[in-house]
Amino acid sequence: MATATEKKTKVLELKNLIGGELTDSADGQMEDVVNPANGEVIARSPLSGAEDVDRAVSAARKAAGDWGKTTPAERQALMLKLADAFEQRGNEIAELESLDAGKPLHTTLEEEIAPMVDQLRFFAGAARLLEGKSAGEYMEGRTSYIRREPIGVCAQITPWNYPLMMAVWKIGPALAAGNAIVLKPAETTPVTTLGILGEMLAEIYPPGVANLIGGHGEPAGSTLVTHPEVDFVSLTGSPETGKWIAKAASDSLKRVHLELGGKAPVVVFDDADMGAVAETIAGTGYFNAGQDCTAATRVLAGKKVYDDVVSGLAEQAGTYKTGDTFDPETVLGPLNSERQRDRVEGFLERKPKGAEIVAGGNRPDLPGYFLEATVVSGPGQDSEMIQQEIFGPVITVQPFDDEAKAIEWANGTKYGLAASVWTRDVGRATRVSGALKFGCVWVNDHIPFVSEMPHGGFKQSGYGKDLSMYSLEDYTEVKHVMVNHA
């Protein structure tokens, strides 16, 4: 198989998609996009400004009226075409996503392409299942019914850890529900969104229904989300950006949908089936180099199994091979940027008293932004390592005394996205999953998700759901119509 460097043949010139046209930014400004596995320039991306945002939003507004009146069957047909296009171009998508985001190619092929195709097919079908909950005569001589209507123009902002999949989670429900969109990918990972999705949307959807613009949070993102003609804002990103958007949106009371960070606790009780624990936790903690808001990186282990969990994870960490992301043996890619690696290393440098790095912690001798798979034992509950999202290949392990302490510590951060409970006791599994304040709880597993079930947080992990009928509903307005026929 070719190496990532050999695979890159030319520097891609990315375009915005505005009103059905693939176009440069208004002032022609571009920026280099690098492969984080080796620092090589792989693309040049448009740096959009206020004029581009305005053109994209105007195009969406112009298209929204007719698009909102299409039948669910028409919207389903186009989304099925989009899903087919993803399937047909799966290898190309996987290669570009791996080059852009530093992902091992085989994991992108195995873990991202088929799920994205399935998610689009789910939303295609879901478009035809939107329903009002009730219709009837609640007052004499009058019939009431509920309509679910598109909101209008949705601004959508995606992060860099799963660039195209997060775009699918946003455009899927938005377009299925009859909205027009303007989406901005993260500045470090625009390649598959602008380079491939843009071409597909231009070919399949009517002009203006789906618009894409490249650029940074400031000015492109902030101008987009505060634009007066935008009705709804959806962000997958950091809590800081989420709070800024929620405040900015309060001026016009735009609706906001926020998928923010996480700090998933993995609660391993003494009676857990230890056969699979270390392997599964490492597999889901180091997946995507730990840059996953649901990553299994905060382990809480019962006193009797604590040593086994620590040594099992340290052993696993040693097997996580870094290197060329196109080599099938590579399982751990680089961090997404130098800034991100510096941030992760900062947590290790400031590790609290009593904590010990029992595996990894170093930069491998490689050109990109790699960091070894790392295990830290014993950080205290109040330490920043436990309270803040590290978003890198670092798994922490804390010992707990009893069930009450495990629940208290698991719930004891500002985040509430995902958690897992490991035990063979059905009563305990049910009790603890009920007590955990997270949007998703797995029992004896961690990380699998399906198109039919919602993904979204409690607390400062945000509000609003991705995937499932819940996300489709989030992208609609509920209208009550009452007809007087007395």
Residues classed as catalytic: 259, 293
Q: 196 or 260, CB closer to ligand NAD?
A: 260
Is residue 221 part of the contact set for ligand NAD (CB under 6 A)? yes
Q: Using CB under 6 A, pick the residue from 222, 311, 387, 444 that binds ligand NAD.
A: 222
| Spatial CB neighbours of 300, under 8 Å, sequence gap ≥ 6 | 265, 266, 267, 268, 397, 398, 399, 400, 406, 409, 410
Q: Which is nearer to ligand NAD, 19 or 237 (CB)?
A: 237
Coil, strand or helix at 225 = helix
Instruction: Decide whether 55 or 75 has the Cβ nearer to ligand NAD.
Output: 55
- Per-residue tokens: 20: 């059905």
| Residue 382 near residue 294, CB atoms below 8 Å | no
Among 193, 241, 423, 476, binds ligand NAD (CB under 6 A): 241
Query: What percent of the chain is helix, strand and coil (3-state, nearest 5)?
Result: 40, 20, 40
Report H helices in 177-305. 191-192, 198-204, 222-225, 239-250, 274-285
Smaller CB separation from ligand NAD, 116 or 314? 116
CA distances from 181 to 156, 174, 176, 235 (A): 7, 7, 11, 13
Q: Judged by CB under 6 A, which stretch of 71-79, 175-183, 218-226, 446-454 contacts ligand NAD?
A: 218-226
CA distance 372 to 368: 12
Here's the x/- map for ligand NAD, 182-211, by CB under 6 A: it reads as --x-xx------------------------
**Tokens at residue 385, please?**
């390592």
With CB under 6 A as the rule, give the number of residues binding ligand NAD: 29
Q: Exposed/middle/buried for 389, CB within 10 Å: 0-12, 13-18, 19+?
A: buried
- Smallest gap from residue 200 Cβ to ligand NAD (A): 20
Contacts of 83 (CB under 8 A, 6+ apart): 117, 120, 121, 124
Site for ligand NAD (CB under 6 A): which residue of 67, 122, 123, 160? 160
As measured in angstroms, the least distance from the Cβ of 141 to ligand NAD is 48
Q: Toward ligand NAD, which CB reaches closer, 4 or 225?
A: 225
Q: At what angle do helices 274-285 and 306-318 cross, to 10 degrees?
A: 50
**What length is written for the chain?**
486
Instruction: Give the closest residue to 457 by CA, choosing from 436, 427, 478.
Output: 436
Secondary structure of residue 440 in the 3-state scheme = strand
Among 14-22, 56-64, 235-243, 426-434, which window interacts with ligand NAD (CB under 6 A)? Answer: 235-243
Q: Which x/- pattern over 45-64 shows residues binding ligand NAD (rule: CB under 6 A)?
A: --------------------
The correct pick among 46, 102, 198, 237 for binding ligand NAD (CB under 6 A) is: 237
* C-beta of residue 102 within 8 angstroms of C-beta of residue 335: yes
Query: Residue 315 CB, nearest distance to ligand NAD (Å)?
Result: 27
Report residue 480 CA to chain centroid gap. 33
- The distance of closest approach from Cβ of residue 402 to ligand NAD in the complex, given in angstroms and rounded to an integer, is 30
- CA atoms of 145 and 134, how far apart (whole Å): 6
Closer residue to ligand NAD (CB): 185 or 312: 185
Separation in Å, CA 344 to CA 46, 73, 347, 384: 29, 47, 5, 12
Looking at the Cβ atoms of 89 and 216, the one nearer to ligand NAD is 216
Distance CA 199, CA 170 (A): 17
Residue of 36, 102, 150, 159 interacting with ligand NAD (CB under 6 A): 159
Task: Write out the binding residues for ligand NAD, residues 409-428 only, by CB under 6 A.
Answer: 417
Closer to ligand NAD by CB, 264 or 432: give it. 264
Smallest distance from ligand NAD to CB 432, Å: 22
Q: Residue 429 corresponds to which tokens in the numbers above?
A: 């599994």
Residue type, 196: I
Which H/E stretch holds residue 150? strand 142-150
Contact stretch for ligand NAD (CB under 6 A) within 80-88, 112-120, 154-162, 300-308? 154-162
Minimum gap (Å) between residue 264 Cβ and ligand NAD: 10
- Taking CB under 6 A as the rule, does residue 122 contact ligand NAD? no
Tell me which residues in 243-282 interact with ligand NAD (CB under 6 A).
244-245, 259-262
Span 286-325, contacts to ligand NAD by CB under 6 A:
293
| Token pair recorded at residue 109 | 């092929």
CB of 51 to ligand NAD, least distance (A): 17
Residue 217 interacts with ligand NAD (CB under 6 A)?
yes
48 or 398: CB nearest ligand NAD = 48
Q: Of residues 318-377, which lie at the interface with ligand NAD (CB under 6 A)?
A: none
Q: Which of residues 376-395 bind ligand NAD (CB under 6 A)?
A: 389, 391
Q: Which residues form the interface with ligand NAD (CB under 6 A)?
A: 157-161, 184, 186-187, 216-218, 221-222, 225, 235-238, 241, 244-245, 259-262, 293, 389, 391, 417
